Amino acid sequence: MNKNGNVAGKVVLAGFFFLTAGGCAFQSDVTDLHLEMDQLKDKMARVNLTLDANERVVKDRVQTTTKEQGDAFLKLDQIGVDLQTIQGRIEENNHSLSDLSQKTEEQSLRINDQNSRLGNLENRMVMLEKSGQTPQISSSPEEQGKMILQGKSLDSTSTSSPATTLSPQEAYNLAYSDFVKGNYDLALLGFLNFTQQFQNSVLMANALYWLGESYFNKKEFPKAIETFDRVARDYPKHDKTPGSILKEGYAYFEMGEKLRGTTYLKKVIEQYPRSNEAQLAKEKLATAR
């Protein structure tokens, strides 16, 4: 009986030790698992911190890039505005140069006119003195200019004095001088005479243009249109062509034919968009509405 009791006690004791040892082992595993989980949490936290930092860097770079792009677009817009401003100033300068060139041409023609008149008078005075005749100059400047233009002597009573033939430049200057002074009848006669005598002259297109202007100022609009049309038809590359087409449009407006006048003004704008005449055509169309 005692022997069996000892055996049973040993078995119970052995089981106790086994359970105790097993419980210790299980507790150690749980502790290790918690430790690993804590370490994993730390790693995840560090990863999250890194991701947050990277996200902030990316956001900063995106914002910087967006701002730089916005600044670049603003600069491009400003450059576009500056280019338009420069282009406008260039066009204004071109218009100013065109006006200055025309004024210079007019002034030069006036000077040449005066010089040619003085030269003609001196030559005729010399010829009259050599022939022993006393020059009798007409008291009317208009009549005097007409006689000079036609190559006649200033001696209205003499038929023996030789007639002086004017050069194309001299004839043109005389007619243009009359136009500038508002003597449109004399200017018309002078330019008509020029177009008949000097058809091959380099001044032919200019003479035709001012002939048309003379008709226009005399309100002979059909003849003005016919003359301006001749400039545009025979001298399409000449610098007087835009003005001729413009004045054709003006003449039609003066005659009450607004539709035809509008057609010619639009033609100037389409064919010579950067010219001073195109700007004048736009202004005329704006006021004609």
Chunk the chain into consecutive blocks of 10 residues (it has 289) and report each block's average pLDDT, rounded to whole numbers: 57 58 63 80 84 85 81 77 69 62 65 62 55 45 47 40 72 96 95 95 97 98 98 96 97 96 97 95 91
Expressed in angstroms, the distance from the first to the final Cα of the chain is 139
Contact call for residues 144 and 154 (beta carbons, < 8 A): yes
Reported as half-sphere exposure (CB side, CA atoms, 13 A), residue 258 has a value of 6
Contact call for residues 280 and 246 (beta carbons, < 8 A): yes
Contact call for residues 174 and 116 (beta carbons, < 8 A): yes
Contact call for residues 268 and 235 (beta carbons, < 8 A): no
Contact call for residues 192 and 207 (beta carbons, < 8 A): no
Tokens of 85: 């401003």
Give which of 175, 177, 173, 155 is closest to 164, Cα–Cα. 155
Rounded to whole angstroms, how far apart are CA atoms 57 and 67? 15
CA angle 89, 94, 100 (to 5 degrees): 125
Tokens of 56: 């902030």
Sign of CA dihedral 96, 98, 102, 105: positive
Rounded to whole angstroms, how far apart are CA atoms 77 and 70? 10
Contact call for residues 228 and 236 (beta carbons, < 8 A): no
Sign of CA dihedral 192, 197, 199, 205: negative
C-alpha distances in Å from residue 176, one per residue of 13, 140, 147, 264: 144, 18, 15, 26
Tokens of 267: 């033609």
Contact call for residues 149 and 166 (beta carbons, < 8 A): yes
Give residue 227's pLDDT.
98
Sign of CA dihedral 283, 284, 285, 287: positive
Q: Domain boundaries in the chain?
A: 85-218
Contact call for residues 246 and 270 (beta carbons, < 8 A): no
Residue 238, sorted as left (phi over 0), alpha (psi -120 to 50) or beta, turns out to be beta
Residue whose pair of structure tokens reads 């449009």 in the numeric block: 249
Give residue 158's pLDDT.
39
Backbone angles phi, psi at 137, to 5 degrees: -85, 135
pTM value? 0.48
